[in-house]
Each structure stands twice: as structure tokens, then as C-alpha cells.
Amino acid sequence: MELEIYQWLVPLISIFFLVRTSLQYSRKRRTVTSTVIWLIFWIIVMILAIIPNEIAKSMATLLGFKSLPNAIIFVALGLIFLFIFYLSSSIERLEMRITELIRRQAIESKALADKQAELNELKEQLKI
């Protein structure tokens, strides 16, 4: 079996990103969930590059598609939508956390301003 350029280049790129993702996790820049998702993604990409025909044929047979390109496009679109859903959910969670943080900060700032006003009032009363 003769390997095409992509069949050795893509696994090298995948290994780079597997190592990079693992290092980001060890440096606390990624969560466990995110790390697992990206590790699985890069492993799948590597496997698809090494044995594309066998996987495409089994995927087409399993899903009932007559042609390999249709099966590949269908599965790729499904994965893209899955990633978009995951990313949009993450963005929503971040937005809610930021909103909550800003609300808390505003309440604390108001309380601090009230205490400062009381302190200034007491200072004025002591001067009299």
C-alpha cells in the first residue's frame, strides 16, 4: 500500500495538535471536557487520513448511502453542527457568567459607595 502525501502529513499535524491540547490541559488552559473532545477529534482525523476508504465504505453501508461522497459529506456536516452547538452553548454559559459577575460587582460597588457616604457623613458630624 502506497501512502499519499495527506496520509502521512495529516497524522503529523494531528500528533502536533494532540500534544498541544494535552499541554494546554496540563497548564490549566483547557477543561477536561474540552480536552477530551479535541483529543477524540484529532484521533479520528488521524484514523480517517490513514485508512479513508475503509472508513468511508463502512460509514456509507452503516448509514445506507449509495455513494461514498454523500456519506462523508453527511457525517462531516453532522459533526460540524455538533461542534457549532457545543461552541454556542459554551458562549452562552460565558455570557451568563459575565452578566452575573457584572451584577455582583455593581451591587458591591453600590454598597461600597453607600458606606463611603456614611463615613463622610460621620466625618462631617465629628467636625462640628
pLDDT tens profile 72-119: 788 889 889 988 998 899 899 999 999 999 999 999 999 999 999 999
d(CA 56, CA 83): 21
d(CA 58, CA 60): 5
In a domain, 58, yes or no: no
Same domain, 74 and 122: yes
Same domain, 39 and 85: no
3-state SS assignment for residue 12: helix
In a domain, 25, yes or no: yes
> String of b and e for 60-80 (b: at least 16 CB within 10 Å)?
beeeebeebeebbeebeeeee
* Domains contained in the chain, number: 2
pLDDT tens profile 3-17: 788 888 999 999 999
Q: Looking at the predicted structure, is the pLDDT value of residue 57 above 90?
A: no
Same domain, 33 and 77: no
In a domain, 62, yes or no: no
CB 45 within 8 Å of CB 6: no
Same domain, 82 and 46: no
Quote the pTM value.
0.63
In a domain, 116, yes or no: yes
Same domain, 113 and 74: yes
In a domain, 119, yes or no: yes
Same domain, 99 and 128: yes
In a domain, 59, yes or no: no
In a domain, 60, yes or no: no
Same domain, 86 and 31: no
> Containing domain of residue 89, as a range?
67-128
The pLDDT of residue 68: 81
Residue carrying the nine cell digits 460540524:
80
In a domain, 56, yes or no: no
